[in-house]
Structure 1
Amino acid sequence: MQNKYHSEIAAAVHEDMRDMFKLGVVDKQTMRTFDELCLVPVQPMTAEEIRTLREREGLSQPVLAWYLNVSKNLISDWERGVRKPGGAALKLLNLVKTKGVQAISL
């Protein structure tokens, strides 16, 4: 998956810092700071967006839950707005939104 940057300059700086991190010149804490400054964060999704995404991909709640490795009840909670996805699940949902479910299928 390709990173999204705030600008071309941010991309260049981040790539240079990543190379320095790999060489051991930059520590993990500094690299995290550059990640926060340069990378565009994952976009939150509304309950309606999640339901629309699932329907666009032709998936039932249990099947989407299987792809995301979460419970069917959690998918239902997201779609009803009871809970909001976060972390890895939100990242995977955004990946499905941009590239389709095949991007996360085995």
Structure 2
Amino acid sequence: MAKARYKSDASEAIHSAASGLYRAKVIDKKTMREYDDLCIEEAPEFSAKQIASIRKTVNVSQGVFAVYLNTTVSTVRQWEQGNKKPSGIAARMLQLVQKNGLTIFG
């Protein structure tokens, strides 16, 4: 599982403590989800223009970009046209490509 991105160092410490309580069965799953919501940073949102810019920056076609992101050409096209938004994991992948390029896959 990928490492969570916390809102702050304090949030990470609080979440870690809550995770220990959850594993010890002191708090239930619903409460743990509340700690997740409070402590873990949400996936970023990208506009259609930003997605197209990220793809063009790494100099690949929609088809190649789709392969790297484990999605379809149709989905990439819909993102770039603004008809669809990337989900959590796809948004995180876009965030990584934006920051590191395609080298993260190699």
2:81 pairs with 1:92: no
2:16 pairs with 1:25: no
Shift of 1:55: 1.4
CA distance in 2 between counterparts of 1:31 and 1:102 reads 35
Letter in 1 for 2:7: H
Shift of 1:22: 3.3
Distance 1:23 1:101, change over 3 A: farther
TM-score (norm 1): 0.82
Q: Which runs of 5+ in 2 are unaligned?
A: none
Distance 1:87 1:9, change over 3 A: closer
Distance 1:52 1:36, change over 3 A: same
Residues 34-69 of structure 1: CA deviation (Å, up to 9, x unaligned): 010011101110011111111122221101111122
CA distance in 2 between counterparts of 1:58 and 1:23 reads 49
Range that drifts further, 44-53 or 73-82: 73-82
3-state SS, counterpart of residue 37 of structure 1:
helix
Correspondence for 2:76 = 75
CA distance in 2 between counterparts of 1:14 and 1:49 reads 32
How many residue pairs align between the two structures?
A: 105
Q: Which runs of 4+ in 1 moved over 4 A?
A: none
Shift of 1:92: 1.6
TM-score (norm 2): 0.82
State the identity %: 32
3-state SS, counterpart of residue 74 of structure 2:
helix
